[in-house]
C-alpha cells in the first residue's frame, strides 16, 4: 500500500513539475517570438519609409501603391539645387548662382540601405501577404500636406501566437492592432513602435 501511495505521489510530482515547466516556458517562448517577428516587420517598415522619403524627394508626394513606388525609384532622379552666394547680401563679392544637378533615385536608395524594391511590399513571416499602403493629401493647419500610412496587423505575422489569448503574457499585445508608420489623419512619418 505504501508503495502504491509513493508511486502515485511520484507520478503526481512529475506531472505538476511538467505543468509548471509549461507555464514558465510558454510566456518566454511567446515574448521571444514576438520580439523576433516584430523586429523583422519594423525593419521592413523602416525600409518602406526610406523608399517613400526618396519617392517624395522625386515627386513631391508619397506613393499610393508599391508598383508606383518601385517604378519611380527605379526610373527617376532627384533634383538637387546647390546655391552659391547670397542674393540678399549686397556686399558679397561672390556672384549668386544656382546649380541644378540630378541624382538617380535608385542610387540614393542604395546609399541609405540595401533595399530590394521588388520584395518591399511583403510582410515577413507570411505567405506573400502585403503591407497596407495608403497615400493622399489633406489640409492641415490651413496648408495642403502629403500624408502616408503603411502597416499590417500583428495577427498577420504572429503565426501561432496571433490569438488574443496571448495578451495574458503581455498587456500591450493586441493582435488586431496595426504595426505601422505614418498616419492618414496627420502629416507624420513616425512608426508606432517608436512610442
Residue 88 pLDDT: 74
The DSSP letter of residue 130 is: B
Tell me if 15 is assigned to some domain: yes
Phi, psi angles (nearest 5°) of residue 123: -75, 130
What is the per-residue pLDDT for 195?
61
**Within-domain flag for 126:** yes
Q: Report the pLDDT value the prediction gives residue 63, as an integer from 0 to 100.
A: 96
Q: Domain total for the chain?
A: 1
Closest CA to 49 of 111, 93, 115, 3: 115
Q: Which grid cell is 97?
A: 548662382
Q: What is the pLDDT of residue 78?
A: 79
Please give the pLDDT value at position 109: 76
pLDDT less than 70: residues of the chain = 22, 93, 195
Cβ atoms < 10 Å from Cβ of 38: 16
Domain span at residue 43 reads 2-73+114-182
Amino acid at each position: 500500500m505504501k508503495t502504491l501511495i509513493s508511486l502515485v505521489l511520484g507520478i503526481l510530482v512529475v506531472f505538476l513539475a511538467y505543468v509548471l515547466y509549461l507555464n514558465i516556458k510558454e510566456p518566454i517562448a511567446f515574448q521571444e517570438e514576438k520580439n523576433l517577428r516584430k523586429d523583422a516587420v519594423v525593419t521592413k517598415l523602416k525600409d518602406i519609409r526610406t523608399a517613400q522619403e526618396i519617392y517624395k524627394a522625386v515627386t513631391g508626394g508619397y506613393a499610393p501603391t508599391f508598383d508606383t513606388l518601385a517604378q519611380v525609384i527605379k526610373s527617376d532622379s532627384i533634383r538637387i539645387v546647390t546655391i552659391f552666394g547670397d542674393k540678399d547680401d549686397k556686399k558679397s563679392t561672390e556672384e549668386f548662382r544656382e546649380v541644378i544637378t540630378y541624382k538617380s533615385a535608385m542610387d540614393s536608395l542604395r546609399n541609405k540601405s540595401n533595399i530590394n524594391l521588388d520584395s518591399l511590399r511583403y510582410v515577413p513571416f507570411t505567405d506573400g501577404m502585403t503591407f497596407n499602403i495608403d497615400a493622399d493629401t489633406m489640409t492641415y493647419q490651413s496648408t495642403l500636406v502629403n500624408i502616408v500610412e503603411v502597416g499590417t496587423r500583428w495577427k498577420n505575422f504572429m503565426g501561432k501566437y496571433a490569438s488574443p489569448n496571448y495578451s495574458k503574457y503581455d498587456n500591450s499585445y493586441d493582435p488586431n492592432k496595426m504595426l505601422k508608420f505614418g498616419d492618414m489623419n496627420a502629416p507624420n512619418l513616425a512608426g508606432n513602435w517608436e512610442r
